[in-house]
Amino acid sequence: MGLGEGAQRRIAVVLADVLGEPLDVALAVAAFIDRYLRRVPFQAALGLRFVTWAITWLPLFFVGVPLPAHLLSTETRLRYVERWSHARFYFLREGFYLLKAIALMGWGAEPVVRARLGVGPMAAVRP
Amino acid sequence: MTDDAADFVVIGSGAAGASAALVLAEAGRDVVVLEEGPEVRDEDRGLGSHEAFMRLFRDKGTQVAMGRSVIPMLQGRCVGGTTVVNGAIVWRLPEDAYDRVFGAIGADRAVPLAALEARMDRIERDLAVSPASDRLLGGNGTTMKRGAAKLGWKAHAIRRNVVDCQGSGRCLEACPTKRKQSMERTYLPRAVGLGARILPDHEVRVVETSAARAVAVSGRRSDGSPFRVAARRGIVLAASAIQSPCILLRSGLGPRRHVGAHFRAHPGTAVAGVYREPVRLWEGATQSFEVDEFRSQGFKMEVVGLPVDLAGVRLPGLGADFQRSMADFPNMAVWGVQVRAEAEGHVAPAGDGARITYTPSRADMLVFRHGVRRLAELHFAAGAIRVYPGVHGGPEVLTSPDELPLLDALPLDPRDWSLISSHLFSTCRMGRTADDGVVGFDGAVHGVRGLWALDASILPTNLGVNPQHTIMALAMLLAERIAVA
């Protein structure tokens, strides 16, 4: 199970707003999520894939706009994601944090991000 | 069909399995260690949290306990087990914990504290255990030390099993410089030197019996092919508090009402503080300093050198706000509170893995609330300018110690908290008879001859301190007796 190219492009637009990163970094993070989905056990992949789908396609139920998340205005999209992150319903809120957690693993591995934070390259240290 | 045979078959190569294998090999026994996970290669080390999860953790880091909330349960799954991916913390079992764990079930004569301490002495010599030096405290540990000194709290450098640690802050990714004295670097090679055989990628599914005696194990290799290994003298179960009960349940062995029941843990959560000066979480030992002031109240505090990707998950803010939060990362200290929870859960096989059910009790959540308040207090005492408690429904950020009372109203619903655990216990707990537990005071599974469990699953309850040392000492003590039985 993975994320098709279209799904990657759609969720990348959302991730760019969540992470405050340019779209090229967000696309790299979306590609990371695709690779992650292909490696983890099916049940975990299914959960994350469902969250990715839901965050992409459910703005109608959160902000009342009948458009997918990547087509919202930036302002509306941020309001939409904010509602996921503060949702009263536990599984919605945790769904957002699950996506954020996995996205951050891809984000934290990006050389441009690591250089900006001064944390050095990801490559292993050797004796 | 039997692929191999040995005097003793040891299931699992972590703290317990490696210790037992070494002791049995030292006694001249022919030993085979079966490990479900892969060998740890040099190229698997220090590759970041994601690759560590993928290569070295059970279920690629996705194992969780389900209950009122979802709690990640992290375990190593590789040769060396969780010792490969833990913080290298070595805690001698304190007398008060011993009394609560072994004394309370009347096991103090069968498992005397002095006998455990003698094995701990040996382990500390073998694994070069010593307190983290000032150089290895890093900014994270130095900052906690400063706060604890200001508040007058009992605190100390963490005692660690390392040799010439380079302070690369990557203990949780398998030490990239191989300085951590984890089992794949120490006891397993020593056991091999004495003739033991380690078979990675061998998952034991079932213990086979004949006339109520354990005689063999069978399972599958990572390529899916089946295997069977016969045991001439006995089988040692050391597959962890999650896998050991699952193997027993799949095999139909042990007192059914106790196997997998009584699951206990040390759930934990983290609080981040931002300082005016650089902290640089990624420098120094991953876990170098701790506060022991509140252990009698059911919790302890430790520094946790999280990588940038894990540290950012619960920080508030989206977009530009998130970027501002993460720009503070170089100046951020992250400390955890770890709770000796009273809640009991349950473990059972489910499909190819395990189903863990667990919900911290209200009393546990009160301890968490108190612990987070104390952690925030410690951050401010150390000079933090902002503190992020990370609890949904509470304040996102505190900017002054005057705001600390806000934390006294933190919600007590586990769903509002971001909890995690890697210390797992008691699913095959020790008890005098089959009415009390799964194994006797000698580790023998009630109702089966030639089958012992020696890992964290047999501890009667959770310890309240980091368990690797106690697990190893107990496995060593009981394996010495098994070797001559």
- φ and ψ of B282, to 5 deg: -85, 5
β partners of residue B387: B273, B398
Strand segments, DSSP code E, in B222-275 are 226-237, 264-265, 268-274
Query: Can you read off the two tokens belonging to residue A74?
Result: 């930036």
**Which amino acid is located at B106 in the chain?**
G
B214 to B8, B108, B253, B474, B485: CA distances (angstroms): 11, 28, 10, 22, 15
Establish if A23 touches chain B: CB-CB under 8 angstroms: no
Smallest Cβ–Cβ distance between B322 and the set A20, A36, A108 belongs to A20
- Percent of chain B at pLDDT > 70 equals 100
Query: Which residues on A lie below 8 Å from B313 (Cβ)?
Result: 97, 100-101, 104
Per-residue pLDDT tens digits for B86-129 = 999 999 999 999 999 999 999 999 999 999 999 999 999 999 99
Query: Can you read off the two tokens belonging to residue B474?
Result: 């107990």
Per-residue pLDDT tens digits for B419-455 = 999 999 999 999 999 999 999 999 999 999 999 999 9
pLDDT category of residue B309 using cuts at 50, 70 and 90: confident
- Arithmetic mean of pLDDT, B276-298: 96
β partners of residue B218: B206, B228
Of residues B4, B10, B14, B22, the one with CA closest to residue B193: B22
Q: Look at A110-114, B18-22, B475-479 and tell me which has the smallest mean pLDDT.
A: A110-114
As a whole number of Å, the CA-based R_g of chain B is 22
Phi-psi region of B309 (alpha: psi -120 to 50; beta: other; left: phi over 0): alpha
B449 to B34, B230, B235: CA distances (angstroms): 20, 15, 9
Task: Report CB contact under 8 Å: B177, A39.
Answer: no
Catalytic residue among B370, B423, B446, B469: B423
Predicted ipTM of the assembly: 0.91
- Arithmetic mean of pLDDT, B329-356: 96
Q: What is residue B2's predicted lDDT score, i.e. its pLDDT?
A: 75
Query: Which residues on A lie below 8 Å from B43 (Cβ)?
Result: 124
Smallest Cβ–Cβ distance between A20 and the set B46, B176, B319 belongs to B319
Q: Name which residue leads in pLDDT, B31 or A127.
A: B31
Distance, CA of B300 to CA of B156 (rounded, Å): 12
Tell me: pLDDT of B479 over 70.
yes
Task: Report CB contact under 8 Å: B62, A44.
Answer: yes
Q: Can B423 be counted among the known catalytic residues?
A: yes
- Percent of chain B at pLDDT > 90 equals 94
The alpha carbon of B292 is separated from its chain's Cα centroid by a whole number of angstroms, namely: 18
Chain B residues at the A interface, defined by Cβ less than 8 Å, are: 42-43, 45-50, 54, 59-60, 62, 69-70, 166, 168, 170, 176-178, 282, 307-310, 312-314, 318-323, 326-327, 329-330, 353, 392, 415, 418
Q: What is residue A123's predicted lDDT score, i.e. its pLDDT?
A: 60
Residues 53-112 (A) with a CB less than 8 A from some CB of B: 78, 81-82, 85-86, 90, 93-94, 97, 100-101, 104-109
* Model confidence, pTM: 0.95
Q: What is the pLDDT along chain A (127 residues), one digit of tens a residue?
A: 899 999 999 999 999 999 999 999 999 999 999 999 999 999 999 999 999 999 999 999 999 999 999 999 999 999 999 999 999 999 999 999 999 999 999 999 888 888 888 887 766 555 4
Distance, CA of B242 to CA of B236 (rounded, Å): 15
Contact status, residue B32 vs residue B43, Cβ threshold 8 Å: no
SS3 B263: strand
Smallest Cβ–Cβ distance between A20 and the set B70, B177, B323 belongs to B323
Contact status, residue B237 vs residue B336, Cβ threshold 8 Å: no
**DSSP 8-state symbol, B189:** H
Using CA coordinates, name the residue in chain B closest to A17.
B319
